[in-house]
Amino acid sequence: MTESVVDVALLAFGGPGSTQQIPDFLQRMTGRPANPDTLKVVEARYELIGGASPLPDMTARQARALQARLIQELAFPIRVRHGFLYTEPTVAECLAPLSPFSSRLTSGKYRAALDATGGLKVPLLEGWYASRGFVKAISRRAAAALDGCDVNEWAVLFTAHNVPLETIMEGDPYVDQLQQTIAQLVPALVPGDWRFAFQSKGRGGGEWLEPEVDDAVRTLAGEGWKKVLVVPVGFVSDNVETLYDLDIVLRRQIEDAGMEYRRSAAPNDSPAFIEALADVVIDYLARRPVEHQLHHPDGPQAHG
């Protein structure tokens, strides 16, 4: 009799591993070929951060670290794999996301991808956006960025990816979940002041969420702040939206306003974040029926 193995999948959007992969990545993400102007802009951004997205390699590292942690904690075999919506390996190849925040633009797409590959009974592990472990992972990154500085001298700017306003008006919980995470981070950090703003608005038209990060920067400058710590609370892995949109574009705006810029790294594969992910999986396995733990071939999915 073969021993049952529990499968855990880390799912994320993915990212191009080289500039040559950018056209295919954009086509998969948008459903149509990128026009030459858009392609030129995106390629230039990736060139400025080294020519590739660090997200795929980081997700693979998260999967390896999570598997090692779970093997230590659990008394049965467990395997952690990773898959992406828009690059390789695909969700179908993985089946066997990574954001704590639920949105039809994120978790909804992961659910559809799983269902399309026959994973109708594969659960998505959600609701850990305000868990103690996730908040601790972010706060430790913020503390490392401050490196012993007096936090009262710093204004913290929490950022998350922008989404169309209509998405939220239709009842999407994304913003509410972000606000719950920040509500726990503020007393953990105790900054001199803080703001929450949205970044990386899409190139399409329509209304998007406000305030945007450049508006928040102008407000902080107008209030006399000289130091800004940017905390990308909406990202679990560094990618082009942190390395370019924040470290290049937003940094220039902050420094042009006469303020000092620092940014906390995303949780990435930090021990605190891997511990938080392990807690989510272990809690799920402890609550699901015993017969499913032993016999169901599909494992849980954490997403982003």
CATH code for position 146: 3.40.50.1400
Together in a domain, 252 and 276: no
Asked if residue 188 lies in contact with residue 135, where contact means CB atoms within 8 angstroms, the answer is: yes
User: Between 115 and 239, whose confidence is greater?
Assistant: 239
Same domain? 108 vs 225: no
For residues 217 and 166, state if they share a domain. yes
CB 189 within 8 A of CB 221: no
In a domain, 1, yes or no: no
Mean pLDDT in residue range 187-198: 97
Confidence tier at 219 by pLDDT (50, 70, 90):
very high
Do 123 and 35 have their domain in common? Answer: yes
Say if 290 falls within a structural domain. yes
CA dihedral 199, 160, 31, 95 (to 10 degrees): 160
pTM listed for this prediction: 0.87
Residue 14 lies in a domain: yes
Are 112 and 147 contained in the same domain?
no
Give the range of the structural domain holding residue 20, as residue numbers without chain letter: 6-128+269-303
| Spatial distance between the Cα atoms of 177 and 211, rounded to a whole number of angstroms | 17
pLDDT band at 98 (very low <50, low <70, confident <90, very high): low
Q: Specify if 12 maps to a domain.
A: yes
pLDDT band at residue 299 under the 50/70/90 scheme: low
Counting the structural domains of the chain, the total is: 2
Domain assignment of residue 229, yes or no: yes
CB contact at 8 A, 246 and 159: yes
Residue 133 has a CB neighbour count (10 Å cut-off) of: 17
- Check whether residue 172 and residue 53 sit in a common domain: no
**Across 67-82, average pLDDT:** 92
177 shares its domain with 296: no
Q: Are 103 and 173 in contact (CB under 8 A)?
A: yes
